[in-house]
Amino acid sequence: MPVFMIDVLPEDAPAASIESSVHRVDGQTPTLDVRDLGAARGDGVFETLGVVGGRPQALDAHLARLANSASLLDLPVPNDAQWRHAITVAAASLPADRQGGLKVVLTRGAEGGSRPTGWIVATPADGDFAERETGISVVTLDRGYSSDVAQRAPWLLAGAKTLSYAVNMAALREARRRGADDVIFLTSDGFVMEAPTSTVILRLGDRIVTPRTDIGILPGTSQLSVFEFAADQGLRTEEALVPASDLTRADALWLVSSVRLAVPVTSVDGADVPVDLELTRAMNAALLARRN
Amino acid sequence: MPVFMIDVLPEDAPAASIESSVHRVDGQTPTLDVRDLGAARGDGVFETLGVVGGRPQALDAHLARLANSASLLDLPVPNDAQWRHAITVAAASLPADRQGGLKVVLTRGAEGGSRPTGWIVATPADGDFAERETGISVVTLDRGYSSDVAQRAPWLLAGAKTLSYAVNMAALREARRRGADDVIFLTSDGFVMEAPTSTVILRLGDRIVTPRTDIGILPGTSQLSVFEFAADQGLRTEEALVPASDLTRADALWLVSSVRLAVPVTSVDGADVPVDLELTRAMNAALLARRN
């Protein structure tokens, strides 16, 4: 599992300094100071990219979201060319005949320091993603925030992809306690948000719907690709305020993310949801075919 | 700034294995794997202890809270004797003639692994804590959660001291943007919670009041000591549901934490708050005198 440490460069650094700023390290050697604010405070941002054929998928969308997360946390603007280079190098380190993923991290760096810390962990997929066919069961959990939280309280960082994911991990443990595979978060006022590590997409008749991001959720990079695919298929796509009741009246429901891609949801809180396997397969074929 | 890495032992490990499980390392050498879930997911818990005369303060209270946080995150039960030993060793590494602090961290360890990661960072105080005399200005910020969140949604980890502190750090940046020194979080239904890194205490007449922890906040270890001191002074102490309006009608207001101790609040959202300097000095004298 290759790890790449990155000497984070300012936005305006000369292009010549980029190549030497990315260092592949032996994955077993510790490379992070425990006082790094990423480790001490969960104070940083990240992206997870899918890798197919040794190439990163949806690179532009992930770089745009990384920059947006950094801005929401008042981190220095990432050097686009540096991260593009580092991500491309890390993706190329994975076996070209298998799918894989990259975790790309930017932290605030050492306490009192002025320089962020960056790294990328490259991981080959260990399975065949059977859940893309068999589907998953989900439970809904209250995220505790109302749907106007992003407007009302930007300091809560709703919509930023931060390293502070303890709640997301706790929600997944709660799902397993309830005998389910994954979680769909709801706002405290009853609207569908997102999953701890993926985006929710519903089919309602001929409409492909995903929750509006202004309720305080992440813009989905894979969801964006799914919407492009759906539009090509002549389906209407829509960002909407989605009441929780739509989950069980949906004609199909998916969680989509960069590595697992589109996974059909077979039940919500124990209630069966129809699976559109044909559309799911077409979605995943389109997602796997992405070049960027 | 000494760093101690800890080979985390199970709760029932033999006492003989404890001494060799704590390793002082050169503070400049990276000692953490970037794949550690503490760094990758903010998935761990911590405590910050004050150190006076080379001895940790309120050790029992901090160990109890660390164990409670670990339980809320489904982490293995900390080995009390091991952490007691490690904290004592780390505290003794600090200059006995200065105040200082320890950051004690327990993470879920490497992804897929079964063993938590532990470390302690020991830091000598770099100032004279002038704010204990001069006080600080605070702004109130909505924490986004209603006062019943801990009962309603335990997976949100309200009341656990986790490494996922990005929101706490963002709130402090928002306070500085507003020209203030610190933050008091309010529930979305208008009750006083806590500060990003300290506990709120008010004096209302002859009552010393702190917000009830069942609204989803941390039990304050220093607040506990302040209440013991206040009871000795013949003051009534009370855990209460505190409406935000009490902040500006208080006869005195403090933020209390383990290293900075009791700091008087001089203004809330720009409105002056009376300072009880005599009581503040007596509180801090009592806090500094703690042995445990």
pLDDT tens digits for range A156-176: 999 999 999 999 999 999 999
Chain center to CA of A23 = 24
Nearest to A169 by CA among B194, B160, B119, B217: B160
- For A172, A248, B140, B212, B286, the CA distances from A147, given in Å and listed in that order, are 22, 20, 21, 26, 45
Q: How far off is chain A from B75, nearest CA to CA, in Å? A: 11
pLDDT at B127: 83
Nearest to B153 among A39, A144, A149 (CB): A144
Q: Which residues of B touch A109 (CB under 8 A)?
A: none
Q: How far off is chain A from B249, nearest CA to CA, in Å? A: 25
Question: Across the interface, do B163 and A166 touch by the CB < 8 Å criterion?
Answer: yes
Paired with B257 in beta bridges are B261
Q: Which residues of B touch A1 (CB under 8 A)?
A: 35
- Determine what percent of chain A is predicted with pLDDT higher than 90: 95
pLDDT at B188: 97
Tokens of A257: 């993310």
Q: How far off is chain A from B174, nearest CA to CA, in Å? A: 7
Nearest to A165 among B33, B43, B149 (CB): B43
Distance in angstroms (rounded) separating the CA atoms of residues B104 and B160: 14
Distance in angstroms (rounded) separating the CA atoms of residues A103 and A87: 9
Residue from A1, A34, A104, A193 to probe the interface with B (highest B Cβ count within 10 Å)? A34
Say which range, A11-20, A26-35, A92-101, A119-128, has the weakest mean pLDDT. A26-35
Residue from B120, B164, B185 to probe the interface with A (highest A Cβ count within 10 Å)? B164
In chain B, the residue whose alpha carbon lies closest to the alpha carbon of A104 is: B40
pLDDT digit string, tens, across residues A210-240: 999 999 999 999 999 999 999 999 999 999 9
**Residues of chain B whose pLDDT is less than 50?**
none
- For residues A172-187, average pLDDT: 98
pLDDT at B26: 78
Distance in angstroms (rounded) separating the CA atoms of residues A146 and A2: 40
Question: Across the interface, do B167 and A174 touch by the CB < 8 Å criterion?
Answer: no
Could you count the other beta carbons within 10 Å of the beta carbon of residue B64? Answer: 15
Question: Across the interface, do A41 and B163 touch by the CB < 8 Å criterion?
Answer: yes
- For residues A69-80, average pLDDT: 98
Question: Across the interface, do B157 and A149 touch by the CB < 8 Å criterion?
Answer: no
Q: Say how many residues make up chain A.
A: 292
In chain B, the residue whose alpha carbon lies closest to the alpha carbon of A169 is: B43
- For A27, A136, A275, B119, the CA distances from A278, given in Å and listed in that order, are 40, 16, 9, 50
Residue from A164, A182, A185, A193 to probe the interface with B (highest B Cβ count within 10 Å)? A164
Nearest to B42 among A42, A73, A144 (CB): A42
Question: Across the interface, do A171 and B155 touch by the CB < 8 Å criterion?
Answer: yes
Examine the pLDDT at A45 and tell me if it is beyond 80: yes
Band of residue A26 on the pLDDT scale cut at 50, 70, 90: confident
Distance in angstroms (rounded) separating the CA atoms of residues A153 and B144: 7
In chain A, the residue whose alpha carbon lies closest to the alpha carbon of B107 is: A39
Question: Across the interface, do B188 and A34 touch by the CB < 8 Å criterion?
Answer: no
Nearest to A42 among B163, B171, B188 (CB): B163
Q: Which residues of B touch A165 (CB under 8 A)?
A: 41-43, 164
Question: How many Cβ pairs closer than 8 A exist between chain A and B?
Answer: 178
Q: Which residues of B touch A108 (CB under 8 A)?
A: 169
Nearest to A39 by CA among B118, B8, B42: B42
Nearest to B157 among A43, A105, A166 (CB): A166
- For residues A58-63, average pLDDT: 98
Supply φ then ψ for residue B136, to 5 degrees: -135, 155
- Output the average pLDDT for chain A: 96
Give the pairing type, strands A261-268 and A271-272.
antiparallel
pLDDT digit string, tens, across residues A86-128: 999 999 999 999 999 999 999 999 988 889 999 999 999 988 8
Residue-range domains of chain A with CATH: 3-124 (3.30.470.10), 131-289 (3.20.10.10)
Question: Across the interface, do A39 and B37 touch by the CB < 8 Å criterion?
Answer: no
Nearest to A31 among B5, B30, B158 (CB): B30
Distance in angstroms (rounded) separating the CA atoms of residues B45 and A271: 35
pLDDT at B111: 85
- For A138, B132, B137, the CA distances from B253, given in Å and listed in that order, are 45, 12, 11
pLDDT at B71: 98
pLDDT at B35: 95
pLDDT at A55: 97
Distance in angstroms (rounded) separating the CA atoms of residues B23 and B146: 43
- For residues A185-212, average pLDDT: 98
Q: How far off is chain A from B176, nearest CA to CA, in Å? A: 12
